[in-house]
Structure 1
Amino acid sequence: MRRLAIAATAAALLLGSIAACGGSDRDSGAGADGKKKVTLTLNWVPYGEHAPFYYGIKKGFYAEEGIELEVKPGNGSGKTLQAVAQNQTDFGWADTPPLLKAVATGMKVKSVGVFLQKGPSSIEFLADKNITKLTDLKGKTIGGTPGDAMYATFPALLKANGMAASDVKVVNVDAAGKIAALAEGKVDAIMGFFHDQAPTIEAKTGKKTSYLLFADWGMNMLGTGLVANDATLKKDSELVKAFVRATQKSWTEAAKDIPGATDAMAEMADNEPAKEVLVKQLTLALPLLKLDAGAAGVNDPQSWTESIELMTKYAELKDGGSPDKYWDNSFTSKG
């Protein structure tokens, strides 16, 4: 069986600085050649969006920072955030709306940089449904998963586009079952991340999939990014800086080499989608980084403020506050 965790083989350029920093509550210990073992838990099982992490391992970007990285599958951003908060993993890759909710309820975690600057939340459907705008959803059945940010903000999305909640029928579907529900015709559309699910739906059905992005219809919220425990940020700041540097480089270089990034993922990950699906998923994800506007993972306070305001207004985020409540901007490099 291919190993999910692959030890990077390049020399550790900054090993000394990392070895000298204080340990976090969760001490991973030393790995190969004295590198620090670090774990990253994803927001879901591996799909194309995650290819840059495997690319960074293969190219030695993490090893150059003295890090031996292990990538672990996730089971939703909420559970990934819990794992970070409970020191079960060093870093998490999680969606921003669940992060806002988690911090607001007292969870001791923070973002150290959101990479998907444009939110991937969408309504997905087979292209033969002839849906081109939100009002085309009237009378349709939509599959959604209670508890996620899309489900919470969908009524607001309808309202922002002159529709009432009663204009559509929302059917509760488990996150893992949404694609099957759509493919089997049990629902007309589903709520989901378009860059993850649309290529998978097309591979399963052989039919073209279309989508309407929340972000294009008045509900743009920051997407997925890196999350760390508050204690780690204080005690292992040099490690955090090194990890973020390696991740920024991994994403920047992967954007220039999609075939190489997806090859690395196909080689290293377990239970990943077929190669052609990985390529489509990563290709769709990269524009969401807005690399033409700045370095990967570098955020602006206005984007955070907009996400906080939308979640406060539509998703019952209590005492929203300012961006620095949720995000520590001292670890990302503008390149």
Structure 2
Amino acid sequence: MKGIAATVAALVLLGSATACGGSEDAAPSADGTSKVTLTLNWVPYGEHAPFYYGLKQGYYAAEGIELEIRPGNGSGKTIQAVAQRQTDFGWADTPPLLKAIGTGMPVKSVGVFLQKGPASIEFLADKGISKPADLKGKTIGGTPGDALFATFPGWLKANGLAESDVRVVNLDAAGKVAALAEGRVDAIQGFFHDQAPTIEARTGKKVEYLLYADWGMNMLGTGLVVNEVTLRDNAELVRKFVRATQKSWQEAAGNIPVAADAMVELAENEPAKEVLVKQLTLAVPLLGAAGGLPGANSEAKWTETIDLMSQFAELKDAGAPAKYWDHSFAGKG
């Protein structure tokens, strides 16, 4: 059955390249149910398990939402799909969202869930790296165009290193994991909670990492992105979707193995369950939602991310958090 579902999903994705998949498609049907699409930042991995858990538990159905979850191919492309109304909601990283809005894309965040950024430098434990200074003379794999690559020189500077102290090798997103696993690079730029468990499963070796957030550069991570037309014309649907997503994340955080089971049942081409469990276990502490709901952000955290992007990633005419974030749906933290 999963193979049939994958074929259907592929046909839907093919059609969405030219068709509008935004708030017009999310209009309620005769029975009051709204068909809604969510495009992920990447192919399914453990961070996405709460969406499948919420789908399985009926949290979206309880809000009158018939949810279709689509795989992504990078946050930038997901944000573009939201901007072009090829999908109703996107799950995307915040730094590329800021850059997209800076270029005029009509999108906004309605809540960042991973409030401690997962950006990191990852390496096998036997490399003897424990601090940024240990990267001197090392070869680092990175993907030009992504936020980690753009901010890496600033992160080096913040930790007393020059760009010339390391050698950066350009690799595509999928190629980084293979390059590290095969020993062709000493370290890679990546999301530690996604790639580290994958590499450990592939190599049988322990992966360690230096989080940007722990070494001078904490930027908001992944969250929900919506087109401004949808915010204006279908605010109640946005409110329902955010509410179901907050409940899904809150409940999945306390039921990680069950959330992984839901993803195994409903997702396509997902990692093995043990990898999913590790990935979600690493993601949950990044929520930063102690005493509040997941996705509720503070202006201070948004300002910090905006300032870092302005300083290190050439974000022009940055403006205030309200330019990028509508707090009226997930709330303020």
Q: Which residue of 2 aligns with 1:301?
A: 299
Is contact 1:85-1:229 (8 Å) kept? yes
Task: Specify the alignment match of 2:159 in structure 1.
Answer: 161
2:259 to 242, 258, 261: 261
Asked if 1 retains the 8 angstrom alpha-carbon contact of 2:289 and 2:295, the reply is: no
* CA distance 1:284–1:25, change in 2 (3 Å): closer
Whether the aligned pair in 2 keeps the contact of 1:24 and 1:236 (CA below 8 Å) is: no
Residue 220 of structure 1 aligns to a residue in which SS? Answer: coil
CA positional deviation for 1:32: 9.8
Q: Given the alignment of the two structures, is residue 280 of structure 1 paired with residue 307 of structure 2, yes or no?
A: no
How many Å separate the matches in 2 of 1:268 and 1:217?
Answer: 37
Q: Which amino acid aligns with 1:318?
A: K
- 1:322 counterpart residue number: 320
Q: 1:24 to 1:190 in 2, by over 3 A?
A: closer
Equivalent position to 1:71, from 69, 72, 83: 69
TM-score for both structures, normalised by structure 1: 0.92
CA distance in 1, matches of 2:284, 2:30: 32
State whether structure 2 residue 36 is matched by structure 1 residue 38: yes
Alpha carbons 2:23, 2:234 under 8 Å: kept: no
- The residue aligned with 2:230 is 232
Unpaired runs of at least 5, structure 2: 9-20
2:297–2:332 contact (8 Å) kept in structure 1: no
Aligned counterpart for 1:100 among listed residues 93, 98, 101: 98
Take 2:45 and 2:303, find their aligned partners in 1: how far apart are those partners? 29
Corresponding residue for residue 13 of structure 1: none
Matching residue of 1:251: 249
Measure, in 2, the Cα distance between the counterparts of 1:52 and 1:60. Answer: 12
Q: Which residue of 1 aligns with 2:132?
A: 134
User: Is the contact made by 1:252 and 1:296 (CA closer than 8 Å) also made in structure 2?
Assistant: yes
Equivalent pairs counted in the alignment come to 319
**AA partner of residue 230 (structure 1):** E
Deviation at 1:292, TM superposition (A): 1.6
TM-score by length of 2: 0.93
Cα distance in structure 2, aligned partners of 1:190 and 1:37: 39
1:116 paired with 2:108, answer no
DSSP 3-state at the match of 2:164: helix
CA RMSD in angstroms, aligned pairs only: 1.8
Alignment partner, residue 89 of structure 1: 87
Partner of 1:203: 201
CA distance in 1, matches of 2:332, 2:248: 14
